[in-house]
Structure 1
């Protein structure tokens, strides 16, 4: 059976191919078939005609021609509004900076463009942060940050990432400026922006180290009175509160509490609730300095420069004989190297 099947397949290969007979079509039928094929169907006849639009630059849209003036005016007004908002914001920041510099407070922050102050800087040394660490009469003491920043907005990033909460962020070196010199810094563009924290926070981040707010529970004579006087001093514009602060400071200073003696000296220095008396202020600063209280030593040196009869060398000699360790490295000045800034400082000194 298998052999017969194989032979049958071999015979099929040699079968003759079928012949295809083509029928001839008349020309008339061919035309009818072609017309029937090209005839539109009912659905196609209902479709909307398709239009091909082209852009001709020589023939603009009539609507644009009609409203051309309005469109140009709208664009001009929009650009002017954006520019005005930017300039107004800058104006507000400048006014804020001037107001904060005119009435400085502790822990105020300044954005300083050091290129205005000094020439011999590296390309990456442009902006620094500065903090008001002390105010002695008409002299404001600031500390600069240990780091330079390439762009101004990086100072905001330093606040955002809470870099200021670390005690080593600001240098220990103190830089003393009079109010006139600070105002010249603003006028020359050295102080770009001034900001004031609320408590120890700014932009929702800590900018003052927590250690500044810690208090000891150890009893020290005069400490309680000094703290009470400082609270009254917050309302120094009220004569009654200022008088109460003076009484508290006098009691604290009488008990030999060095910070209380400095607070009382500040009252005489600023003329709050008492007549302004620099000599009286120096006396109380000296008493606090003899207890090795650093703020008293530094403040005495500042006020001593304003009193002709004061000899700072004798003061330091007295401290050394008493056994007080003095650090001169913390009291430094930034000398101006740019001619424009140096001239501005000279003009501010002439005004004072």
Structure 2
């Protein structure tokens, strides 16, 4: 007998009889469990169900097949509606731009594509904003922004973030164009959009410098009359209001107020409530210019070029003799030199 078996028998001899019996029973139970595992499956035992999954190759939603044509037509109509709305919006903006450029007003804003009217720009330089700062008869004076923008929507962002409230946003250099030339810029694609503020506001933001709202409480003869005339002039379509504006400007000009003299000269220049008279207009512009009022000097030079008997050089000499300091840097009139713009101007002249 092996030693392990002898040692096991020896240990069993020293155990109590109860524990020996329990150990014998446990061994017997383990033998029965092993026999049950090795025994064959009982025939009457019920088998577990077997699930067989299949994939349906048919369309799970036949509604799509039935209404396929309708769905395609609906998608096409929806795409056409979106394209039509975009086209209609662009058409309305184009009509708005043409109307505003044909009849400009002060503080009108133009989105200008400078690559159409100027060569040799940097890759990031394309759009600039222009502002109508003065209108003298048929001549419109605009100032360009000091900054270039690459994309058109950045001009809207400039308005949104109130960049136009800064004094230096627009350059001091003035650019004079006739209405026909501005319309030619629209036709050539240089002016892509025109916008008109209402009450110095656009898109809920102020578009004039903060200095515009500063006022002086100092009494100046003729100032009150000129202000009243400007308010009447807002309703110039009413003949009675235009006449009242003329009377206020006349009184302001006679009191020696330079701005009132310019306002009266504008009435003669445009023929509002009075017969158009360039000579009368030049007389009142000159009186304002002799007071060193810059708008009067600039407007006189513009109108003088339309009158044969007027010589701008003599006017400047007279101002210098009277001690008026003239800043010629603000009077520079820069013209575009590209062939496309020149061709557009020629076509505009032919049409007119």
Unaligned runs of 5+ in 1: 1-10
The C-alpha deviation readout for 1:153-183, integer Å capped at 9, x for no partner, is: 0001111111000111000011111111111
Give the length in aligned residue pairs: 331
Bigger radius of gyration, 1 or 2? 2
* Residue 351 (structure 1) shift: 4.5
Cα deviations by residue, 1:181-207 (Å, 9 ceiling, x for unpaired):
111111111111111111121111111
Quick check: 2:131–2:144 contact (8 Å CA) kept in 1? yes
Shift of 1:76: 0.9
> What secondary structure, in the 3-state scheme, does the structure 2 residue paired with 1:21 have?
helix
Q: 1:32 maps to which residue?
A: 43
Counterpart for residue 21 of structure 1: 31
- The 1-side partners of 2:52 and 2:36 are apart by 37
1:8-28 per-residue CA deviation (whole Å, 9 max, x = no partner) reads: xxx99x969986535756999
Aligned to 2:80, the other structure's residue is in SS state helix
Q: Is the 8 A contact 2:97 2:195 kept in 1?
A: yes
User: What SS does the aligned partner of 1:326 have?
Assistant: coil
Which consecutive residues of structure 2, in runs of 5 or more, have no partner in the other structure? 1-6, 13-22
Listed one character per residue, the Cα deviations across residues 25-52 of structure 1 (whole Å, up to 9, x for unaligned) are 699962336x33x245xxx9xxxx8854
Question: CA separation of 1:51/1:300 partners in 2, compared to 1, >3 Å: closer, same or farther?
Answer: farther
Matched, 1:166 2:160: no
Are the structure 2 counterparts of residues 51 and 303 from structure 1 closer, same or farther at C-alpha, using a change threshold of 3 Å? farther
Task: Report the alpha carbon displacement of residue 66 of structure 1 after superposing the two structures with TM.
Answer: 2.6
CA shift at 1:68, angstroms?
A: 2.5
Q: Say whether the 8 Å CA contact 2:267–2:273 is kept in structure 1.
A: yes
Distance 1:169 1:24, change over 3 A: closer
TM value normalised by structure 2: 0.87
Q: What's the offset of the Cα at 1:233?
A: 0.8
CA distance in 2, matches of 1:113, 1:156: 14
Partners of 2:190 and 2:153 in 1: CA distance? 15
Q: CA deviation at 1:72?
A: 1.6
Q: Is the 8 A contact 2:286 2:296 kept in 1?
A: yes
Q: 5 Å matches for 1:199-218? A: 199-218=199-218
- Scaled by the length of structure 1, the TM-score of the pair is 0.87
In 1, Cα distance between the equivalents of 2:166 and 2:37?
A: 104
Q: Distance in 2 between matches of 1:55 and 1:277?
A: 90
Q: What are the residue-to-residue correspondences of 1:85-96 with 2, within 5 Å? A: 85-96=85-96
State how 1:112-127 maps to structure 2 within 5 Å. 112-127=112-127
2:241 is matched with 241
- 2:80 matched to which residue of 1? 80
SS in 1 for 2:42: helix
After superposition, what is the alpha-carbon deviation per residue over 1:54-90, rounded to whole angstroms, capped at 9, x for unaligned? 557xx79644433222122111111101100111111
| C-alpha distance in 1 between matches for 2:35 and 2:286 | 133
Residues 27 and 158 (structure 1), Cα distance of their counterparts in 2 relative to 1, 3 Å cut = closer
